Chain A
Amino acid sequence: MATGGEKHGFRRHRPRAGQTVLSPVAVSLAPSEQIRSLAWLSDPALSELGLEEFLDELLVRVRDVLAVDTVAILLYDPETDQLVARAAKGIEEEVERGVRVPVGQGFAGRIAAERVAIFIEDVDHADILNPILRDKGIHSLLGVPLIVEGDLIGVLHVGSLTARMFDERDLAMLQAAAARAAPGIERARLVSAFEREHRVAMVLQRSLLPKRLVELTGVAAAARYLPATDEVGGDWYDIFELPRGRLGVAIGDVVGHGVRAAALMGQLRTALHAYAAEGHGPARTLELVDRFVQAMPEPAMATAAYGVLNTDTGLLTVASAGHPPPLVVRRDGVDVVDVRPAPPLGAIPYGSCTEVEVIVGPGEMVILYTDGLVERPAVPLSDSIDLLRGIVGGGHSAEEICRVAFDQLIPEGGPRDDVAIVAVENAEIPAELHMRLAADPRVLADTRRVLRRWLRAGGAGDQDTVEITLAVSEACTNAIEHAYSPAPAHLQLHASMVDGQARFVVSDAGSWRMPRGTNRGRGLKIIEAAMDEVAVDTAPSGTQIVMTRRLGR
């Protein structure tokens, strides 16, 4: 319970669960140190900063001047009548978790409702709503309202991890900081509605694009996205794994701009991904997304292209709904994929989509892009696409292609329309495989895919591929099961092909245990049945299993 009051010069208004309400105090501090501190808080240089930097700098200064452990600013949201954590030092989680406090409740809520400074000596005995303050072990708190021209705009509070009697000078300084902060915040909040919408759309757009491109051995993917300079549109791209070592690559462009286009983009991207994951091919997937758009309460339209790349065979199946044609970068040139585009999504009831198949061989790349990349005033689209073909023609990797396309096609000062490009490269298949694998069962599926791809490239038929893959996966499984734990262990897989004979070596640093029980016995049986020769070599340094099989046996 705060005993605070009198000896610190505070006047207590009315007691309430551990809180002491304080009267504002006049700033009448003589010691030169305090004056310097206050001058520091009202440094004119702060005015030059943007809101983020301004709050950041202000909080750091408040923390240092008052020698506290935490400082936070909560801003008032009139729509919900809540305070929202906006900036913090020491308890950044408050902002990260978007802490909201109803006005009138708890520590900050009461400061806002009653527009008074409140001091809490012991958080454990007070009415605190924000669990983070307790979790972080805050002991004492002091907070003041942020007021501009009579309107409450938020709350500024400081906290100490140890018991602390904040005194009159502390309060005076916090009030000075609040007086300095409030107009700056208000000014920054008075951004035009247009700017705010732009920012919201941008955040939405960013949050809806993939955070990380799929990591699939045998393919390399790269992508770029840039929103229009003055108005965010609804471009999107997506890359996702599908069953049987296939990769889905999608790109789209929602007609319209701003928050609505960005939100619609998010819906279409999700719908496309969901239909694709159901196993529908590219044409049917786009038809289903079209039906989804048709069923929306408000008219909407978008173009999109969607392709499925079989990473085993390099077969790309692709369909388009009113979207510019994909390109395939080959060793000797750049092909425009001749896919007849269906009407844009949402344009015509029951639009029908067709798909085409092209091979994207090892070392070749497929490129999808939005019209913002190629469209130029008064230039026919086919000429613009030829320009893009010329630019990407020299590219050696998906990453390089995205980079040069953006470097050379984005005009000075930024694009007028959203721009997106995604490139997927079917990687070269090496003559010999050397894989270092973590001793973790989750590596098995990916290892099998790499192996199947390598086997097909080496001329293995279906039966060879199925049986060899089984045997090698069993050998890896055995090494994983017997890996030394708990230290991270690895195993090596080496595969080579000489005169139609495939040879595999799986080695680990563990000791081979003769399979026990019927379960592991079956694994070894499979290996022996699938291979021509099997040798297990156990040495103190580790175990090696060597397997060979003649293709087409």
Chain B
Amino acid sequence: MRLADVQLTAAGRVVVARLTGELDLSNTANIGGALAENVPNSALAVILDLTDIEYLDSAGISLIYELREKLRARGQSLRLVIPSGSPANDALRLAGVSGHVVTAETVQAALAELS
């Protein structure tokens, strides 16, 4: 049983990356690598959808920051979908970084912000 999975879909020149499962030290490096590699250079932005993530901790938060840096180096921006009350949101809150990251409640809202 794989702990997490990544599903990429394109919405115009925006890539929506939906993560499911649990993110921890055991899989963040692989997931982060898969995300960075599979986003085409032609994409303008990536929406990282963490709605269905069941567990995320400091390793997952680092993944978000590192992905943001990698994308920025390629001139691409990152939007996060982290609904309030979700496990990902709990981790951001406890780590005290909620105030530093902009998140959207839904993929639709994130797409609307980008257009």
A: residues with CB less than 8 A from B are 240-244, 441-442, 444-445, 448, 466-467, 469-471, 473-474, 477, 480-481, 518-520, 522-523, 525-526, 529-530
CA–CA, A469 and B87, complex, Å: 11
CA–CA, A373 and B90, complex, Å: 49
Minimum CB–CB distance for B26 against chain A, Å? 4
Q: Which 8 A-B pairs have the closest CB atoms?
A: A441-B26, A241-B1, A523-B58, A441-B25, A522-B58, A529-B94, A522-B95, A526-B94
Tell me which residues across on chain B come within 8 A of A529, comparing CB atoms.
93-96
Would A466 and B90 count as touching, CB distance under 8 A? yes
Q: A445-B22, A525-B95, A529-B96 are in contact. Are A470 and B57 (CB under 8 A)?
A: yes
CA–CA, A442 and B20, complex, Å: 17
Given A519-B59, A519-B62, 5 other A-B residues pairs in contact with their CB atoms under 8 A: A243-B21, A470-B94, A473-B24, A477-B57, A522-B61
Among A445, A466, A520, A529, the most chain B Cβ lie within 10 Å of the Cβ of: A445
Q: Mark B39-59, 1 if CB is under 8 A from A, else 0.
A: 000000000000000110111
Would B26 and A473 count as touching, CB distance under 8 A? no
Among A242, A448, A470, the most chain B Cβ lie within 10 Å of the Cβ of: A470
Q: A522-B95, A529-B96 are in contact. Are A444 and B24 (CB under 8 A)?
A: yes
Tell me which residues across on chain A come within 8 A of B58, comparing CB atoms.
474, 477, 519-520, 522-523, 526
Tell me which residues across on chain B come within 8 A of A441, comparing CB atoms.
24-26
Chain A CB within 8 A of B91 CB: yes
Residue of A whose beta carbon sits closest to that of B26: A441
Would A444 and B62 count as touching, CB distance under 8 A? no
Would A522 and B1 count as touching, CB distance under 8 A? no
Would B94 and A243 count as touching, CB distance under 8 A? no
- B contact residues, total (Cβ < 8 Å): 24
Q: A477-B25, A519-B62 are in contact. Are A526 and B57 (CB under 8 A)?
A: yes
Tell me which residues across on chain B come within 8 A of A469, comparing CB atoms.
55
Tell me which residues across on chain B come within 8 A of A522, comparing CB atoms.
58, 61-62, 95-97
Would A523 and B57 count as touching, CB distance under 8 A? yes
Among B22, B65, B97, the most chain A Cβ lie within 10 Å of the Cβ of: B22
Would B54 and A244 count as touching, CB distance under 8 A? yes
Minimum CB–CB distance for B37 against chain A, Å? 21
Would B91 and A470 count as touching, CB distance under 8 A? yes
Contact of A444 among B26, B54, B94 (CB under 8 A): B26
Tell me which residues across on chain A come within 8 A of B21, comparing CB atoms.
243
Tell me which residues across on chain A come within 8 A of B22, comparing CB atoms.
445, 448
CA–CA, A519 and B28, complex, Å: 13
19 A-B pairs within 8 Å (CB atoms) are namely: A441-B25, A444-B26, A445-B24, A445-B55, A466-B87, A466-B90, A470-B55, A470-B90, A470-B94, A473-B57, A477-B58, A519-B58, A519-B59, A522-B61, A522-B62, A522-B95, A526-B94, A529-B95, A529-B96
Would B94 and A525 count as touching, CB distance under 8 A? yes
Chain A CB within 8 A of B3 CB: yes
Would A467 and B94 count as touching, CB distance under 8 A? yes
Would A243 and B20 count as touching, CB distance under 8 A? yes
Minimum CB–CB distance for A182 against chain B, Å? 51
CA–CA, A467 and B3, complex, Å: 20
Would A480 and B25 count as touching, CB distance under 8 A? yes
CA–CA, A471 and B55, complex, Å: 12
> In residues 79-111 of chain B, which contact A (Cβ within 8 Å)?
87, 90-91, 93-97
Residue of B whose beta carbon sits closest to that of A241: B1
Tell me which residues across on chain B come within 8 A of A445, comparing CB atoms.
3, 22, 24, 26, 55
Contact of A526 among B1, B20, B24, B95 (CB under 8 A): B95
CA–CA, A523 and B60, complex, Å: 11
CA–CA, A244 and B22, complex, Å: 9
Tell me which residues across on chain B come within 8 A of A474, comparing CB atoms.
57-58
Tell me which residues across on chain B come within 8 A of A519, comparing CB atoms.
58-59, 61-62
Tell me which residues across on chain A come within 8 A of B96, comparing CB atoms.
522, 525, 529
Contact of B25 among A241, A242, A444 (CB under 8 A): A444
> In residues 1-42 of chain B, which contact A (Cβ within 8 Å)?
1, 3, 20-22, 24-26
CA–CA, A467 and B54, complex, Å: 13
Tell me which residues across on chain A come within 8 A of B20, comparing CB atoms.
243
Tell me which residues across on chain B come within 8 A of A243, comparing CB atoms.
1, 20-21, 54
CA–CA, A520 and B3, complex, Å: 22
Tell me which residues across on chain A come within 8 A of B94, comparing CB atoms.
467, 470-471, 525-526, 529-530
CA–CA, A455 and B69, complex, Å: 37
Would B54 and A481 count as touching, CB distance under 8 A? no
Tell me which residues across on chain B come within 8 A of A523, comparing CB atoms.
57-58
Would B55 and A448 count as touching, CB distance under 8 A? yes
Residue of A whose beta carbon sits closest to that of B27: A441
Residue of B whose beta carbon sits closest to that of A448: B55
Minimum CB–CB distance for B33 against chain A, Å? 15
Tell me which residues across on chain B come within 8 A of A240, comparing CB atoms.
1
Tell me which residues across on chain A come within 8 A of B90, comparing CB atoms.
466-467, 470
CA–CA, A518 and B94, complex, Å: 14
CA–CA, A474 and B23, complex, Å: 12
Tell me which residues across on chain A come within 8 A of B59, comparing CB atoms.
477, 519
Tell me which residues across on chain B come within 8 A of A241, comparing CB atoms.
1
CA–CA, A467 and B93, complex, Å: 10
Minimum CB–CB distance for A47 against chain B, Å? 52
CA–CA, A513 and B91, complex, Å: 22
CA–CA, A433 and B80, complex, Å: 37
Would B24 and A477 count as touching, CB distance under 8 A? yes
Residue of A whose beta carbon sits closest to that of B66: A519
Among A469, A473, A518, A526, the most chain B Cβ lie within 10 Å of the Cβ of: A526
